[in-house]
Amino acid sequence: MTPKLLFRRVAVAEAITWALLLVGMFLKYVTETTELGVRIFGMVHGVVFIAYGLIALATWVNQKWSVRTGLLALVSAVPPFATILFDRSAESAGQLEGPWRFGAGGQSPASVPEKVLAWLTRNPALAAVVGVVAVAGLTGVALVVGPPASGS
């Protein structure tokens, strides 16, 4: 899977979970019928939000994005649907093109982030496990810290 395809899939998933969370918020705060949507879709969105952040970081390193572009990628997860806008913009600018630079037979990593990405791209099955563990761990930290303050 190319960086472009992986980034796009998680960017779309992040936008979809935003939409689901907004539906849940509508049901909770406007119709006052149920909190279930916020509880379920809030958790799903939180998990995908974290996954998007990790994939954005990996893509940032792989694509050699500027600090500005990398930060825009990360911040685009905050407003609803902005990950889609960022993805389209990055694609138009050619910032998602190419393979994983450090895959087997690829470039030699120089920095620590590149060395981590090289290990991940050369061990895709382990990378998937590391990704799941990282998302689960960060989700656990978020749950310990607590949900965003709510008005209820």
Within a domain: 123: yes
Within a domain: 61: yes
Within a domain: 114: yes
Which residues, 6 or more positions from 47, have their beta carbon under 8 angstroms from its beta carbon?
A: 135, 139
Within a domain: 107: yes
Long-range CB pairs of 27-36 (<8 Å, 24+ gap) are: 28/152
How many domains does the chain divide into? 1
* Cα–Cα distance list, 103 to 3, 4, 124 (Å): 11, 15, 9
Within a domain: 59: yes
Supply the pLDDT for residue 25: 96
Within a domain: 129: yes
Q: Are 15 and 7 spatial neighbours (Cβ–Cβ below 8 Å)?
A: no
Within a domain: 150: no
Supply the pLDDT for residue 151: 52
Q: Which domain holds residue 141?
A: 3-145
The pTM for the full model equals: 0.92
Within a domain: 151: no
Q: Which segments of the chain have a pLDDT < 50?
A: 152
